[in-house]
Structure 1
Amino acid sequence: MTCAPLPSVATPTALPVLDGGRGEPLCAGLDIGGTAIKYALVDPVRGTTVGPVRRVPTPSPATPAAVVAALRGVLEELEDETRSPLTGVGVGVPGIVDHGVVRSAAHLDDSWLGVDARRLLAEGLDREVAVLNDADAAGLAEMRFGAACGVDGTVLLITLGTGIGSALLLNGVLVPNTELGHVWFEGRDVDGWAGASARIAENLDWPTYTDRVQRYLSHLEGLVSPDLIVLGGGISERQEQFLPHLELRARVVPAQLRNAAGIVGTGLQAHLAHSAQH
Structure 2
Amino acid sequence: MEILGIDIGGSGVKGAPVDIENGKLLAERHRIKTPKPATPQAIAGVVAKIARHFAWTGPIGCALPARVKHGVALTAANIDKGWIGTNAARLIDEATGCPTFVLNDADAAGVAEMAFGAGRGRHDYVLVLTVGTGIGSALFIHQTLVPNTELGHLELDGHDAESRASDAARKREDLSWHAWARRFQRYLSHVEFLLAPDLIIIGGGVSRPKKWAKFGDRLQTQAELMPALLQNEAGIIGAAYSARVLLEPEVTR
Give yes or no for the alignment of 1:177 onto 2:148. Answer: yes
Look up the match of 2:224: 251
Look up the match of 1:274: 246
Per the normalisation by structure 2, the TM-score is 0.92
SS at match of 1:156: strand
- For residue 36 of structure 2, the aligned residue among 36, 60, 73 is 60
Q: How far is the alpha carbon of 1:254 from its aligned partner? A: 1.0
Give yes or no for the alignment of 1:159 onto 2:159. Answer: no
Tell me the alpha carbon deviations over residues 103-134 of structure 1, each in whole angstroms, 9 at most, x when there is no partner.
Answer: 11122111111111111111112211011111
Q: Which runs of 5+ in 1 are unaligned?
A: 1-24, 80-84
Look up the match of 2:5: 29
The code of the aligned residue for 2:247 comes to S
Q: Distance in 1 between matches of 2:75 and 2:218?
A: 33
- For residue 107 of structure 1, the aligned residue among 63, 71, 78 is 78
Q: Distance in 2 between matches of 1:250 and 1:119?
A: 40
The code of the aligned residue for 2:173 comes to E
Q: How far is the alpha carbon of 1:86 from its aligned partner? A: 5.0
Look up the match of 1:90: 61
Q: Indicate if the aligned counterparts of 1:236 and 1:259 stay in contact, CA closer than 8 A.
A: no
Q: Indicate if the aligned counterparts of 1:232 and 1:259 stay in contact, CA closer than 8 A.
A: no
Pairing of 1:183-262 with structure 2 (within 5 A): 183-237=154-208, 238-262=211-235
Identity %: 43
Tell me the alpha carbon deviations over residues 151-171 of structure 1, each in whole angstroms, 9 at most, x when there is no partner.
Answer: 132100001122111000011
Tell me the alpha carbon deviations over residues 80-104 of structure 1, each in whole angstroms, 9 at most, x when there is no partner.
Answer: xxxxx55421100111101111111
RMSD over aligned CA atoms reads 1.7
Per the normalisation by structure 1, the TM-score is 0.84
SS at match of 1:51: coil
SS at match of 1:52: coil
Q: Indicate if the aligned counterparts of 1:34 and 1:58 stay in contact, CA closer than 8 A.
A: yes
The code of the aligned residue for 1:190 comes to A
Number of aligned residue pairs: 248
Look up the match of 1:51: 27
Q: Distance in 2 between matches of 1:168 and 1:231?
A: 12
Q: Distance in 1 between matches of 2:169 and 2:219?
A: 18
